[in-house]
Amino acid sequence: MTGTIFITGATAGIGAAAARRFVQAGWRVVGTGRRQERLDALGQELGDRFHPLLLDMTDIAAVEAAPDALPEPFRAVDVLLNNAGMAPPMAPAQEGDLADWRQAIDTNITGLLAITRALLPGLIERKGLILNLSSVAATYPYRGGAVYGGTKAFVRQFSLDLRSDLHGTGVRVTSIEPGMVETEFTLVRTKGDQAASDALYAGMNPMTAEDIAETLFWIAGQPPHLNVNTIELMPVSQSFAGFQVAREG
Ligand code: 8X3
């Protein structure tokens, strides 16, 4: 099976790996990003099957207008991969910065909703697929993850509820929930502190963007009668910790 996939945040990490994986298999890919030079580089690498689209997911008017402005060969979107997302710094909430939180909410929630709403009529027409990048942070709380985890819990629950709304349309929806993947995600979370990002992944063998891209590609290849509701992935070296107890004295 091939078709057209619309990938938000395609210039790095999981988005770029997915763009490569789908193009390699013969799909047409629309890839959005905020950095023109990265889009150009990806376009050079992937050729005619890739359509670069300069788009800031927090610019809602631009996001809403994007599908209608696509060139003819890329207009019939079969799969939407809502990949664009970011995490605010891991300060505890009591030290958090509202501007950082809003940026995460605007990207991870509002931007995702805007592009989903804009593409839904076409996705219904084509009995398409929506792949939403949530996170293990949607399910498992950790220190410094309150707003990020909150946005990803939204994405997970939105995906499940969307299935109810789309009942009978043939549209499939999946919430993909990875743990630690080594990408620029942590560099953004640390506001560009490369040493802090490196320290997080040091010696722990994280998942790669290609691991997740392969999973996304596998989901897209499932037969039309089968819906993967949620899929959770972790590196073997990441697992769960117990509750914490604050003691007096
Ligand atoms: C990010 C994965 O494990 O750092 O979505 O929360 S984790």
Mean pLDDT of 134-152: 97
Q: State the distance from the centre of ligand 1 to the C-alpha of 171, rounded, in angstroms.
A: 28
Instruction: Quote the mean pLDDT of the chain.
Output: 97
Q: What's the confidence (pLDDT) of residue 22?
A: 98
Q: What's the confidence (pLDDT) of residue 131?
A: 99
Q: What's the confidence (pLDDT) of residue 40?
A: 97
Catalytic one of 140, 142, 148, 201: 148
221 closest CA partner among 78, 82, 51: 78
Mean pLDDT of 160-187: 97
**CATH number for the segment(s) 4-233:** 3.40.50.720
**Is 148 part of the annotated catalytic residue set?**
yes
Query: pLDDT tens-digit profile of 234-247?
Result: 999 999 998 999 99
Q: What's the confidence (pLDDT) of residue 249?
A: 81
The 10 Å CB-count burial string (b at 16+, else e) for 174-204 is: bbbbbbbbbbebbbbbbeeeeeebeebeeee
Max distance between CA atoms of the chain, in angstroms, equals: 69
Q: Is 179 in the pocket of ligand 1 (CB under 6 A)?
A: yes
Residue 189 in this model has a pLDDT that exceeds 90? yes
Residue 70 in this model has a pLDDT that exceeds 90? yes
Mean pLDDT of 61-79: 97
Name the residue at shortest CA distance from atom 3 of ligand 1: 179
Q: State the distance from the centre of ligand 1 to the C-alpha of 49, rounded, in angstroms.
A: 31
Q: Is 136 in the pocket of ligand 1 (CB under 6 A)?
A: yes
Q: What's the confidence (pLDDT) of residue 110?
A: 98
Name the residue at shortest CA distance from atom 6 of ligand 1: 137
Residue 63 in this model has a pLDDT that exceeds 90? yes
Q: State the distance from the centre of ligand 1 to the C-alpha of 34, rounded, in angstroms.
A: 22
Q: State the distance from the centre of ligand 1 to the C-alpha of 193, rounded, in angstroms.
A: 17
pLDDT band at 41 (very low <50, low <70, confident <90, very high): very high
Residue 222 in this model has a pLDDT that exceeds 90? yes
Sequence-distant (≥ 6) Cβ neighbours of residue 14 within 8 angstroms? 83, 133, 178, 181, 183, 209, 212, 213, 216
Q: Which of 14, 136, 188 maximizes ligand 1 atoms within 8 Å of its Cβ, making it the mutation to test the pocket?
A: 136
Q: Which of 14, 83, 134, 135 maximizes ligand 1 atoms within 8 Å of its Cβ, making it the mutation to test the pocket?
A: 135
Give every strand in the sheet of 172-178, ordered side by side.
50-54, 28-33, 4-7, 79-82, 129-133, 172-178, 230-233
> What percentage of the chain carries pLDDT values higher than 70?
100
Distances in Å between the alpha carbon of 244 and those of 18, 135, 149, 179?
37, 22, 18, 21
Which atom of ligand 1 sits closest to the CA of residue 142? 6
109 closest CA partner among 139, 140, 87, 142: 87
Q: What's the confidence (pLDDT) of residue 1?
A: 81
Q: Is 180 in the pocket of ligand 1 (CB under 6 A)?
A: yes
pTM recorded for the entire structure: 0.97
Token pair belonging to 110: 């509002």
Domain ranges for the chain, please list them.
Answer: 4-233
Q: State the distance from the centre of ligand 1 to the C-alpha of 169, rounded, in angstroms.
A: 32
